[in-house]
Structures are given as structure tokens and as C-alpha cells.
A and B are shown apart, each in its own frame.
Chain A
């Protein structure tokens, strides 16, 4: 009886001890890197207005918001026409957006706060800009494929002014405004991530845990070729988020994995963990974009926006 009790206690203790062996992180580590909620849930990062890298725009359930570099300083720049904006796109200093219950209508927002309906062409196509935002009901959208209800858009992934859409499981179509779609072949499954280089001459396509780099050639068909890196950590829910940045003419790719941030040296094809970003290991990252030399905005779902200085290995305080 005593032996059975002893074995039961030991088994229970071993069970408790073994519970955290397979977890991604230690308990105190997770606590130490936990982040306070900003109180604002960001649906989409919209970037910054040209010439004002300290002011970031983002879309929430309540509308389009902006923040200055002063922590917590947030204001809505939209409000008179309701707060049910489903999609938005910031191009240079112009903001375009549309409502969920007004399919096919796109508005342009002026700095004064007034909005204007953007006219469309007779064929039902919007072309707001030649290199930024485009809408074609039958083919593609760079804001939100879901609202357009276009069956040809499958598993869309957005990066800058480009969108990747899967066609089956081994082929992808990449759309860039006013250009013919570029066909990518050789995928083994749906793309797990998508990014555009800073000069917009290359696409980074994530397939499984591999990263491929292909040249932007609209209208052409491109095979994936060799991976520039294989063996990324597990992808977060929704896939990898990635951004290319440069330091002293060397290109790097900052990739968000399920357990943290990985830096890929594009030239040497080597990877390293970005430990100074570990405070953001446990938050949901919506998007990342370059805001200056070696500086990257990391936009999270509910933990604000942070600036990562990749040169000095510093993470700013929450700027939202």
C-alpha cells in the first residue's frame, strides 16, 4: 500500500514536471516578456505618411487611427462617415478606404478630414494609383480580398503594393498594381509568408520553413529555384511576417516566427536569433515595415507599435 502511494506521488510529480518540457519558453521567461495591452486592437498596419516617419497610421474596428511619437497620443482621423471601415491603404500622404456595407465604393481621405468618393471606370475598375492601390472587381485587390468576394483570390498575402494569391497548392500569382500577374511555380504547399524587397525588385516567398527570393518580372512565369534559407522556426498562426532592411548596403530579412524573431543575412544566407526583441516574443505581430536606416516598426495586434533599432540592438518603448 505504501509502495503504491509512493509510486503514485512520484508519477504525479513527474507528470507535473514534464508538463513544461515541450513548451516553447520557460514560465518566468514568458512572464518577463509579457506585454501590456495598448487597449487598441490593430487590424491592419497602414504605415507612415511620406516625410513623417514618426506618425504611424493603422486600422482598428473603430476606424483609421494615427499616433505621434508621444506614447499614448492617439486620435481618430475619421469619424463623420461612421466607424465601420473594413479596408484602408495609405499611399504617400493620401489615405484610401472603404466601408464594409458599401462594396465597390472607395473613398479618399484628405488631411482636412473630408472624404471624397473615388470615381471608377466604366468597366467597374478603380485605379487610384499606378504603383500603390488598385482595385479590380474581377481580378485583384490590394486592400482586402475578402470584401470583394472574388473567388479567384485564394489565401492572399499582402506586402507593400503587391499581393500573392495561391492558385491550387503549387502555383502562386503575384499581383502588382497596373501590371500583369507574375506566376510562381514550384511551391509544395500554400505560401507561408510573402515580402517585397525595399527596392521592389525582388519578392521573398515563404514555402514551408524555406525562404525563396525571386526577381519581380510581371507577366512572366518564375520557378522558385533554390531556397536562400531553410529551417526557419515554426510559423505563427497566419504565417510568417517578414521585412527586408539594409545596414551598410547589406540586406537582411527580419522574420517573425512563432517563438521569436530571426534575422536572415540575405547575402551569406545565414540566420541568427534577435534576442533584444525577446520582449515581443509572446505578442501577435500584425506587420513590420522599415521606418528609417535599420529601424523597423513592429505593429502588434493588441500591444501597440514598437520601433526596433537593428543597428544599435534597441527596442523602443511602446509608442502606442
Chain B
């Protein structure tokens, strides 16, 4: 499985190499708005201080069903291939108990455009910030990171459609001295969103 994945990555890298040497399309100061909507797949939950729970994967392990994910972002180019901005998202997943786990990430966003032909962009995003978790009347403010890859095809000069595949993680931390036995419930919540993105660049 790992060999196949490495091979796929190598092919993608080789395919993208010619584009790396291509002319830049973007200028410093260009901007981009992105609206994304799609599915949110439960990946795993990792209980770092818990001997019985440990890491549990997928729907069955996390007791969380496939849900939805949406995000709005704004970015401005600081170089011809790097853009920075912000993003606010919303993710929801039903638990086995049919209660909704919601996550609202508010992040700073860094995007790298290694491939930019004017008609096609390959964008790598990295987000970092906080997210508000809510479940069954409980709330928690957690650190949040997200990585994604986003190929985009531009229908016009300004409007593009893309597919954004990524992974995001929250960390819900409980200090052992402050929360007693709840420290064993400190956990990573990791999900994989797959969204369609609509991009307006200017």
C-alpha cells in the first residue's frame, strides 16, 4: 500500500516538474476568494494518554459518520507563487448516538502555487489556527491544523472550479492536574475533507 502511494506521489511530482519551470501567472498583490463545500470523512481519533482506547480509525473506530464540510477563504499573493490569508470553515459529523459533532475552524492560510498555467493551478494549502468544537452541549476551543491539495481548472479568466482533498486535525487537551482523570481523554480528532471549490481570482 505504501509502495503504491509513494509511486503515485512520484508520478505526480514528475508530471508537475515541467510546470515548475513555467512562467508565473500571478503577480504580487493578486487576490483569490474560495468557497468550498463537500464531504467530511472521519479518519481517526487518537487518545494519547489512554491505554484502552488508543488510536481508532474510520467510522467504526471513531463512532462518527461521514458528514459535511464547507469553508470560505480569502488570500493575497505575497510573492508570485505564495499567498497568505484566512479561512473560516464548518464541519459536521453525526456520532453513533445521532448527536452532531460540529467543528468551526478559524485559521490563517498559506498557499503555494507550484503549478500555475493560467488555465490550471495546482495549489497546496496549509492552515493553522483554532477551532470551536461542539458536541452534546459541550464546547471546546482546540488548536487546529489542516493540509490540502487543490487542483483547479479555470473556466474563465476569473472563475475556476477545483477539487480540494485534505486532512485536518484538532487536539483536545486536558491537563492532568487541572482535570483529574479527564487527562486520559485528551485526544486528536482527525478528519479528511473532500470538497469542490469555486475560486474567484482577481
Contact = CB atoms under 8 A, between A and B. Distances in A.
B185 A25 contact: yes
Nearest to A259: B181
A31 B188 CA distance: 12
Interface in B14-51: 45, 47, 51
A98 to B, nearest CB: 33
B135 A30 contact: yes
A16 B182 contact: no
B45 A28 contact: yes
B56 A32 contact: yes
B80 interface: no
A17 B141 CA distance: 5
A21 interface: yes
A26 B185 contact: yes
A27 B135 contact: yes
A34 B52 contact: no
B96 A27 contact: no
Contacts, number: 87
A36 B52 contact: no
A31 B140 contact: no
Interface stretch (A135-143, A196-204, A274-282): A274-282
A37 interface: yes
Name which of B132, B138, B189 has the most chain A CB atoms within 10 A of its CB: B138
B195 interface: no
B141 A34 contact: no
A267 interface: no
A13 B136 CA distance: 19
B136 A30 contact: yes
A275 B98 CA distance: 23
A129 B101 CA distance: 51
Contacts of A28: 45, 47, 172, 185, 187-189
A16 B63 contact: no
A275 B52 contact: yes
A29 interface: yes
A11 to B, nearest CB: 13
B158 to A, nearest CB: 34
B81 interface: no
A35 B132 contact: no
A29 B63 CA distance: 10
A23 interface: yes
B10 to A, nearest CB: 35
A19 B132 CA distance: 11
Contacts of A29: 47, 53, 185, 187
Given A17-B140, A19-B140, A32 B53 contact: yes
Interface string A5-16: 000000001001
A146 to B, nearest CB: 29
Contact of B172 (A16, A21, A26, A36): A26
Interface residues of A, number: 25
Contact of A16 (B47, B141, B186, B189): B141
A37 B99 CA distance: 11
Name which of B63, B172, B178 has the most chain A CB atoms within 10 A of its CB: B63
Contacts of A27: 101, 133-136, 138-140, 172
A319 B167 CA distance: 35
A31 B45 contact: yes
A282 B138 CA distance: 14
A35 B140 contact: no
Given A17-B141, A275-B52, A278-B52, A26 B182 contact: yes
B30 to A, nearest CB: 30
Contacts of A34: 63, 95-97, 99
A310 to B, nearest CB: 15
B64 interface: yes
A29 B95 CA distance: 11
Nearest to A273: B181
Contacts of B61: 32
Interface in A266-299: 273, 275-276, 278, 282
Given A23-B138, A26-B187, A32 B182 contact: no
13 contacts: A13-B130, A16-B139, A16-B140, A17-B141, A21-B179, A26-B140, A26-B174, A28-B189, A30-B136, A31-B189, A32-B187, A35-B96, A36-B98
Given A19-B140, A35-B63, 17 more contacts: A13-B141, A19-B139, A20-B139, A21-B178, A25-B185, A26-B172, A26-B174, A26-B186, A27-B172, A28-B45, A29-B185, A32-B187, A33-B63, A34-B63, A36-B97, A275-B51, A278-B52
Please name the 9 residue pairs, one residue from A and one from B, whose CB atoms are nearest each other, closest first.
A26-B185, A34-B97, A29-B185, A28-B187, A34-B95, A19-B139, A36-B96, A34-B96, A17-B141
